[in-house]
Structure 1
Amino acid sequence: MQYHALSLARHGRGVTLLGYLQTKPHSDVLGNENIRIVPISDLKALQVGPKIFQYVVKVIAQAMQLLYTMLTIDQPSYVLLQNPPGLPSIAVAWVACLVWRSKLIIDWHNYGYTIMSLIHGRNHLLVQIAKWYEKLFGRLSDYNFCVTNAMKEDLWEKCNIKAVTLYDKPASYFKETPLELQHQLYMKLAKVYEPFKAQYVTESVNSSAERSAFTEMDHKNGCVIKTRGRPALLISSTSWTEDEDFSVLLKALEDYERCINEGVKLPSLVCVITGKGPLKEYYNQLIDKLYFKHIQICTPWLEAEDYPLLLGSADLGVCLHKSSSGLDLPMKVVDMFGCCLPVCAIHFECLHELVKHNENGLIFRDSNELAEQLKMLFLEFPTLEGKLHNFRRNLRASKQLRWDESWDQTVLPLFKQNE
């Protein structure tokens, strides 16, 4: 939604951006004079009565809060919202559009009811209500975008909703990170996170150099090089929800550690898992029980400006997003590809619309397959030969379409035709 706001602002449109202000928006959004941010308070759930009663009360309260907030802003020509989350925002936005006589646009990234079904099961009353709600109010929108051709077909066949495919694309700041910036980032993170600190000093290392786990800088000439025998940097990002099973990665890492102990020439690993979410504490407890000698895991929350820098510095990305509907694509892989970062991604129905197996990455189905891919990709690391290098070269050569170009081609005509 920040991308949409920036694209509209770039074309001279005034934008009011409504949402929870739990994390700091990107500096480009904060610094844009055409974008006004209206924060919405996160309501805490009622702690009295049955769970379903608590949920209904919270949804009603959210609906009233959102409608009040929307009706206090200047009347817009369009209301653009992302689904999910669509309960109660789709219905509230539709009511506000009736009052304003504005156009409602929905950007479909998934179905909310399929995410709910991961927790409650597909036949649960709340899931069935959410499914009915999404179909009913989705049909009341004026325009629709969706993230895959598979979802476009599904929306038409099951909901009679006509949508235009708007693939997620990386913003311009998702790119390979220069070595000097890599070093600055590593030194910054090393102040907080142990895996980024220099682990040891070899005889060949310049004694006056400033070191991280991956780089060293000679203070005399400012030259930055990658350290010999450095670990490989593996990164994954997550919202720590039920549609990503990180035990798959942890089991694969156990297999990887065992191979090193058996004498296979594999590098040590620093595994960084970024993000916030409800299951983070659960997985941190699992991680704390692992005893690795050659693998370090950390789970930081990165500033918006640091995240693309880290992606552009990493050696391999891992995606464990397993779509609840089988119809959406992981934005994290889009960002990784923008940084020319090869990816290992877990299989689901329409992933082939983004990840091309053996071309820009690898697709796996379980922890055993992921472990084999990690061992194959990192064998004799960090030589420039092999699949990891080939994937990165293919990503560089692909000259991927960026968000601004894609938005101008797909979304901008809609606004121009209604002027």
Structure 2
Amino acid sequence: MAAPCVVTLVLTVLLVLLLLLGAWKRWRRWRTASRHVAVVVLGDLGRSPRMQYHALSLAKCGFSVTFLGFYHSKPRDELLQNDRIGIMGLTELQMLAVGPRVLQYGVKVVVQALQLLWAFVKMEPSTYVFLQNPPGLPAIAVCWLVCCLCGGQLVVDWHNYGYSVMGLVHGPTHPLVLLAKWYEKFCGRLSHLNLCVTCAMRDDLAQNWNIKAVTVYDKPASFFRETPLDLQHQLFVKLGCIYPAFRARSEPSDSAVEWSAFTERDSRSGLVTHRPGRPALLVSSTSWTEDEDFSILLGALEKFEQLIADGENLPSLICVITGKGPLKEHYNRLIVQKHFRHVQVCTPWLEAEDYPVLLGSADLGVCLHKSSSGLDLPMKVVDMFGCCLPVCAVNFQCLHELVRHEENGLVFEDSEELATQLKTLFSEFPDPAGKLNQFRKNLQESRQLRWHESWTRTVRPLLVDI
């Protein structure tokens, strides 16, 4: 008897809140014409770069923006300092530790629905609600109801499919996964406008979901660019205070010269140069989860270490792996057990402003992203290309929409192939005539569109002011 009473009470509260929300919002809209947009992420705002870019572009186009989601890590300063953008943080509910899994998910969904409703009550009426999917449960349904009651329009930005991400944990035939797929497919059709990240996803949405979407490719923001040598040196010295991999292995004989592992600066002239015989800098980014198979990179580094030990003419290698996640400490222990001599692995968590500087300072990027649906693209590669950083990326279904093999980088299938590519690319390092620098030159000459320029061409014309 208790369970039906609780469900009835929850549904009654939701209905009352919706009615109050609708009445209040319509009164507010009658009082003032709104050019306000809510950008919603049921995830960490600081780790949602595409939605940050949406918010910034909307603000540049004259909208006031509320950026709504979980505030675990800091978004970019450019967003925090924008007078047109306000951040509204949600409190993330931890899963219950007791009871059936279905009950745990049910309670979490109901609480998040109430949180979203209350957030919309507190904010200005919205002309548009931009929603990231995944996660879309319960956000798609809640945002659609709010838009219906308040006269706004729902814009769903499809980054992937939520049910396919759940399927990595529970298996594709699990009842929760099937329920999530039904919900996503049904509620996804309720939006007024759909955006997606690849043409492959656009076609899949049209053919299998009956959803018409517009492809909006991820593009690098303006701050992703090649880093001047003096800024590289500043970053390396800063990181060297914390991480030994960035420090020179000896002190300079001249006290007027400052060394990092890669650069040296003469304090008399201010001139910064690369150090002779410097190591190569490889950068990768991962969420330290099983879906991004770090073991591929670790296996390739082992083979690269052995090549140097066998006398191959290759530079020593410093591999920087950024990100945080549940398996980070597990893999850190595995790295220590390898006892590398010619390869150093560093796993820092960087400030948002330092990450693009690091990418713009690196010699090669490695992407381990594997899509759960096969239909999205790794934004980390977009950022690397913005810095004219060549990439080796693990292959999957639609990667060709971003990485063109032998033109702006290389595509690999396993650790053996990645190790071969590292050998090929670094065999002439740092010769400017080498293959690695040819890829960089191709990226420099490609004149890539930046995010806001691309956004104003593709998204802004779709928004009709109300």
Question: 1:83·1:111 contact (CA, 8 Å) conserved in 2?
Answer: yes
Q: Is 1:39 aligned with 2:92? A: no
- Say if 1:99 and 1:242 are closer, same or farther in 2 by CA, change over 3 A: farther
Q: Is 1:323 aligned with 2:371? A: yes
Deviation at 1:418, TM superposition (A): 4.2
| Among candidates 118, 129, 139, match of residue 79 of structure 1 | 129
Deviation at 1:380, TM superposition (A): 3.2
Question: 1:208·1:219 contact (CA, 8 Å) conserved in 2?
Answer: yes
| 3-state SS, counterpart of residue 313 of structure 1 | coil
Report Cα offsets for 1:21-73 as digits up to 9, x if no partner. Answer: 11111011011000011011121221112333322222222222122112221
In 1, the alpha carbon distance for the partners of 2:121 and 2:206 equals 31
Q: Which residue of 1 aligns with 2:27?
A: none
Alignment of 1:159-198 (within 5 A): 159-198=209-248
Q: Is 1:110 aligned with 2:140? A: no
- Say if 1:70 and 1:288 are closer, same or farther in 2 by CA, change over 3 A: farther
Q: Which residue of 1 aligns with 2:300?
A: 252
Q: Which residue of 2 aligns with 1:100?
A: 150
In 1, the alpha carbon distance for the partners of 2:404 and 2:430 equals 24
Structure 1: 5+ residue stretches without partners: none
- Say if 1:163 and 1:106 are closer, same or farther in 2 by CA, change over 3 A: same
Question: 2:428·2:434 contact (CA, 8 Å) conserved in 1?
Answer: no
In 1, the alpha carbon distance for the partners of 2:81 and 2:255 equals 42
In 1, the alpha carbon distance for the partners of 2:115 and 2:158 equals 23
In 2, the alpha carbon distance for the partners of 1:287 and 1:99 equals 54
Deviation at 1:201, TM superposition (A): 5.0
In 2, the alpha carbon distance for the partners of 1:62 and 1:279 equals 27
Alignment of 1:263-412 (within 5 A): 263-412=311-460
Deviation at 1:141, TM superposition (A): 0.4
Question: 1:115·1:243 contact (CA, 8 Å) conserved in 2?
Answer: no
Amino acid at match of 2:158: W
In 2, the alpha carbon distance for the partners of 1:206 and 1:135 equals 66
Which stretch has the larger CA shift, 165-174 or 44-53? 44-53
Which stretch has the larger CA shift, 234-243 or 320-329? 234-243
Poorly superposed stretches of 4+, deviation over 4 Å: none
Q: Which residue of 2 aligns with 1:227?
A: 275
In 1, the alpha carbon distance for the partners of 2:114 and 2:266 equals 59
Question: 1:267·1:380 contact (CA, 8 Å) conserved in 2?
Answer: no
Figure out how many residues of one structure are paired with residues of the other and give that number. Answer: 416
Q: CA RMSD in A?
A: 1.2
Matched-pair identity in %: 62
Amino acid at match of 1:36: G
| Among candidates 191, 196, 210, match of residue 141 of structure 1 | 191
In 1, the alpha carbon distance for the partners of 2:107 and 2:343 equals 46
Report Cα offsets for 1:128-160 as digits up to 9, x if no partner. Answer: 111111101100000000011100000011110
Q: Is 1:150 aligned with 2:220? A: no
| 3-state SS, counterpart of residue 104 of structure 2 | helix
Q: Is 1:5 aligned with 2:52? A: no
In 2, the alpha carbon distance for the partners of 1:75 and 1:334 equals 34
In 2, the alpha carbon distance for the partners of 1:150 and 1:95 equals 29
Which has the greater radius of gyration?
Answer: 2
| 3-state SS, counterpart of residue 335 of structure 1 | helix
In 1, the alpha carbon distance for the partners of 2:452 and 2:197 equals 16
Question: 2:251·2:259 contact (CA, 8 Å) conserved in 1?
Answer: no
Structure 2: 5+ residue stretches without partners: 1-50
Q: Which residue of 1 aligns with 2:38?
A: none
Q: Which residue of 2 aligns with 1:261?
A: 309
